[in-house]
Amino acid sequence: MLREIDTFFDNKEEPVKSCLLFLRDHIPKQDQYITEAWKYKMPFYCYKDKMFCYLWVHKKNGLPYLGIVNGNKMDHPKLIIENRSRMKILLIDPTQDLPKETINAILKTAIGFYN
């Protein structure tokens, strides 16, 4: 039987599924203290047991995104806040090459808030 977090990824359609699976694998590789968790019915990534970032699919445009918990502290041109007060998101077009350098830069900056 699949865990809820595995079902979340398994139930997505391509190309969103492949994009999210890449991020699922990629995020924990950025630091030894990043762990995966299932919180609020979504995949969360914790840094030293504190909520760090999460993965979701935008309800309006269907694009997967990387949500940064302390995004309000970041000033990156690709991050958008929409109607959130604390979180910012990086929308990702799964039909294009993934912006790995942008993802890595955002994650690196976000990790800095926890050290």
Identify the CATH number of the domain in which residue 84 sits.
3.90.1150.200
pLDDT of residue 31: 96
Give the residue among 24, 78, 77 at the shortest CA–CA distance from 53.
24
Q: Tokens 């990702």 — which residue?
A: 92
Q: Higher confidence at residue 29 or residue 85?
A: 29
Q: Average pLDDT, stretch 8-13?
A: 97
Ramachandran assignment for 41, one of left (phi > 0), alpha (psi -120 to 50 degrees), beta (any other):
left
Q: Average pLDDT, stretch 46-71?
A: 96
Asked if residue 1 has pLDDT above 80, the reply is: no
Asked if residue 70 has pLDDT above 80, the reply is: yes
Give the residue among 16, 9, 30 at the shortest CA–CA distance from 114.
30
Domain count within the chain? 1
The answer for residues whose C-beta is within 8 angstroms of residue 36's C-beta and 6 or more apart is: 5, 24, 27, 28, 43, 44, 45, 46
Note down the domain range covering 64.
4-112
CB atoms within 10 A of CB 15: 13
pLDDT of residue 84: 87
For 64, 75, 95, 106, the CA distances from 59, given in Å and listed in that order, are: 9, 24, 17, 22
Note whether 64 and 20 are within 8 A (CB).
yes
Q: Average pLDDT, stretch 30-47?
A: 97
pLDDT of residue 13: 97
Asked if residue 48 has pLDDT above 90, the reply is: yes
- On average, the pLDDT of the chain sits at 96
pTM: 0.94
